[in-house]
Homo-oligomer: A and B are copies of this chain.
């Protein structure tokens, strides 16, 4: 019977690179890890690590077993989180963080729907970058976050897609690009690009650098203003650009080649430890109708 401790020793060894390092990481004696791995190998009737060199190397069998072991540990972590959640009461205040660029005009509708069910819960909204939101969820300063889909969401966060936001390329009406039809990407490279970069300097996966000359801003409304003033072209969520387009200050870039705009998926994230609570299920359910 594989025990959780054995599996932890196994996965920790793979991640730390050696039995000793795994032991340090798990605050155990090195001999304990060694024994766990040996027992695991006996149970599997297979060698999991090649021990010729200084550092143990995963064998083929080890590679096959690793994802299964991780899956058990993930599920075990989820169980632990659920158990912790059993002792929590419905919170009196819920903080919802939104990635900049997600339309919040319609969010007022959440309040009424959720308040009818949970009249004593107060809501607080704040705006932050995806990375900051994930950090806050991680440290449990925050329980619900709404961000554009990121590839790497930590396994202790639950998420579900609640809709999409359309992005397009925009430029000021007075800008040279507004008059011509670009036949390929090179047309864009000749002009300055306006790009989002959040405080922690990591640009998001869909904020691609295309032009060699780039100006950065840390939120979409500054980008919008820069674009309106003719400082360059820019990828913006449609709802951010809407007013300026209607007033004629901004135009969608006329493009010959492939459609450059796209639909960004919007996810709602919650820490596993809380995502099963009724009030948060209700919140997610309400959010699903948001976009």
A-B complex: 7 closest residue pairs judged by Cβ atoms: A68-B79, A44-B83, A46-B86, A72-B75, A75-B75, A68-B82, A61-B86
Instruction: Please determine whether A83 and B2 come into contact, CB atoms closer than 8 angstroms.
Output: yes
Chain A count of residues within 8 A CB distance of the other chain: 29
Provided the pairs A71-B78, A72-B72, A79-B69 are in contact, do residues A45 and B86 lie with their beta carbons within 8 angstroms? yes
| Docked pose: A85 CA to B65 CA in angstroms | 10
Oligomeric state, in number of copies? 2
Contact of A87 among B45, B74, B83, B86 (CB under 8 A): B45
| Chain B min CB distance to A88 (Å) | 11
A20 close to B (CB within 8 Å): no
A285 close to B (CB within 8 Å): no
| Docked pose: A184 CA to B209 CA in angstroms | 61
Instruction: Please determine whether A87 and B3 come into contact, CB atoms closer than 8 angstroms.
Output: no
| Docked pose: A85 CA to B45 CA in angstroms | 10
Q: Across the interface, which residues of B come within 8 angstroms of A258, CB to CB?
A: none
Provided the pairs A46-B87, A87-B45 are in contact, do residues A2 and B65 lie with their beta carbons within 8 angstroms? no
A276 close to B (CB within 8 Å): yes
Select the residue from A1, A64, A72 with max chain B CB neighbours within 10 A.
A72
Q: Across the interface, which residues of B come within 8 angstroms of A64, CB to CB?
A: 82, 85-86, 276
Instruction: Please determine whether B3 and A43 come into contact, CB atoms closer than 8 angstroms.
Output: no
| Docked pose: A252 CA to B260 CA in angstroms | 48
Contact of A3 among B4, B68, B78, B86 (CB under 8 A): B4
Smallest CB gap from A45: residue in B: B87
A80 close to B (CB within 8 Å): yes
| Docked pose: A142 CA to B86 CA in angstroms | 43
What are 26 A-B pairs at a CB distance below 8 A? A1-B4, A2-B4, A2-B76, A3-B3, A7-B79, A43-B83, A46-B83, A46-B86, A46-B87, A61-B86, A64-B82, A64-B86, A64-B276, A65-B79, A65-B83, A65-B86, A68-B75, A68-B78, A69-B79, A71-B75, A71-B78, A71-B79, A72-B72, A72-B76, A72-B78, A74-B75
